[in-house]
A and B are shown apart, each in its own frame.
Chain A
């Protein structure tokens, strides 16, 4: 782990130092592991919890999805209409023999919704955030029948691409922007509420990464806040 981080840091700084950025530019590599929960049944769906390890720990986080048009579950029916909408509009089946499963990508090109947003808050009072360039959830079709059974929904994996925007930076990250990513597991905790365990490993690895720089983060500030963020979507 230390070797990888050292290589990553060295490479990142080496590459950025060779780019056309001012000599005074400052770069940061932040690491994190996350533990929290959330539910697709909440409106909007928010996955939130604690930053449990890494350079950003201790702290808290949230990821919020745009659920415009998702609707609600009708308790009078056997199906969950809200999930049916999500599943049919965001998830796509791959029938590759031996690797059958569904990949769900948020935002959806079908629905045309906004990219998920995210924030990290450190206990020291620093904030960074932005949108998710990709938020992909994968469900394995263990019996390869093309039907997603409850037992298959229980255990999922996800990966998230992060784009950090200066508008949401405070404290140490006031003048920083950049990009990063994380990956982890999304396991059902409660089949009544659809509450899910959201986990980016781990206490030991702190595998999430943010690569931040204080260069070229000043354009499109106030007019790029909520009004412009709302315009972010995949056509």
Chain B
């Protein structure tokens, strides 16, 4: 009986080994592409945080959670949402009177510090960094007033830096990335959360390799 159990034990051990013990190491250059969605609120949360899930795309990052935080030092308190929104609108939004839209930019020029982001995968580890956010809303009736219904839909895009302080499989990487998406709000009059959905790319290289080794030929290996 004992001898008959040995092959079964070996097989079971081999299966466990293959499943978790020798997970393929991530390559030195990594191009991740994924879709995300989530919620956030500029007006009623301090500091403003948008967060959610990576819902599809590269299998190495699907299942991760993400969050973005904006430094709101100097903004009016969330207890006075009207004053806080007025401050945000007057500080960050610029109107294009010829084409009738507003663009808001959140970066190191308009804030005390660049917004920050984190992506945390339950198995593969964590990445973080900084980003810039640009968001556009259409003045659909072209009256120069940001009406409630015009706050219900907008688009956003920006670029991000990936710090070299990740964990797990992502520990060795740094790089940059970019994203684009849409923001929807079904009740902006009552400051309900924004729903955001979008697409992101991360262009990563192994930053544990010496800087001098990241020569032209090395960088040129970066692939899509």
Stretch at the interface among A37-45, A56-64, A182-190: A182-190
The yes or no answer to B68 lying at the interface (CB within 8 A) is no
Q: List B residues at the A interface (Cβ < 8 Å).
A: 33, 35, 37, 55-57, 94, 96, 98-99, 101, 103, 105, 107-109, 113-114, 129-130, 132, 134, 136, 138, 140-142, 149-150, 152-165, 174-182, 184-186, 195, 197, 199-201, 203, 205, 207, 211, 214-216, 218-220, 222, 224
CB closest chain-A residue, reference B34: A205
Known A-B contacts A4-B55, A179-B138; A155 and B203 likewise in contact (beta carbons under 8 Å): yes
B132 touches A184 (CB 8 A): no
B186 to chain A: closest CB distance in Å? 7
Scoring A residues 116 to 142 as 1 if CB is less than 8 Å from chain B, else 0, what string do you get?
A: 000000000000001101101111101
Q: In the assembly, what is the distance between CA of A4 and CA of B149, in Å?
A: 23
6 of the cross-chain contacts (CB-CB < 8 Å) are A19-B152, A98-B129, A98-B164, A99-B162, A134-B136, A224-B99
Q: What 1/0 mask marks residues of chain A from 216 to 235 whose CB sits below 8 Å from any chain B CB? A: 10011000100011011010
B212 CB to closest chain A CB (Å) equals 9
The listed residue (B56, B103, B164) touching A1 by CB distance below 8 A is: B56
Which of A's residues lie within 8 Å of B, judged by CB? Answer: 1-4, 7-8, 11-12, 14-16, 18-21, 92, 94, 96, 98-101, 103, 130-131, 133-134, 136-140, 142-143, 150-151, 154-161, 163, 165, 178-185, 187, 191, 199, 201-202, 205, 207-209, 211, 213, 215-216, 219-220, 224, 228-229, 231-232, 234
- A229–B113 Cα gap in the complex (Å)? 33
Contacts of A209 in B (CB 8 A): 155, 180-182
Other than the known A138-B176, A182-B180, A183-B158, what 19 A-B pairs have Cβ atoms closer than 8 Å? Answer: A1-B35, A11-B182, A14-B184, A15-B153, A16-B153, A92-B108, A96-B114, A98-B163, A131-B99, A133-B136, A134-B103, A136-B157, A138-B178, A142-B205, A142-B207, A179-B136, A179-B154, A201-B33, A208-B180
List residues of chain A with CB within 8 A of the CB of B57: 1, 205
Please name all residues of chain A whose beta carbon is closer than 8 Å to the beta carbon of B152 when the two chains form the complex.
15-16, 18-19
B contact residues around A219 at 8 Å (CB): 142
Q: How far is the CA of A136 from the CA of B141 in the complex (A)?
A: 28
Q: Are B199 and A205 in contact (CB under 8 A)?
A: yes
The main secondary structure of chain B at its interface with chain A is strand
**Nearest B-chain residue to A21, judged by Cβ:** B140
Docked-complex contact A96 and B113, CB < 8 angstroms: yes
Cα of A7 to Cα of B181 in the assembled complex, Å: 12
Given A142-B174, A181-B156, do A202 and B101 touch, yes or no (CB 8 Å)? no
Give the CA-CA distance A12 to B224 in the complex, in Å. Answer: 30
Asked if A205 contacts B33 (CB within 8 A), the reply is yes
Identify which of A18, A154, A163, A181 contacts B220 (C-beta below 8 A).
A154
Q: CA–CA, A231 to B96, complex, Å?
A: 11
> Contact at B157–A160, with CB atoms within 8 Å?
yes
A216 touches B216 (CB 8 A): no
Closest Cβ of chain A: how far from B28's Cβ, in Å? 13
Contact A20 B158 (CB under 8 A): no
B140 and A150 contacting across the interface, CB-CB below 8 Å:
no
Q: Cα distance A18–B189 when bound, in Å?
A: 13
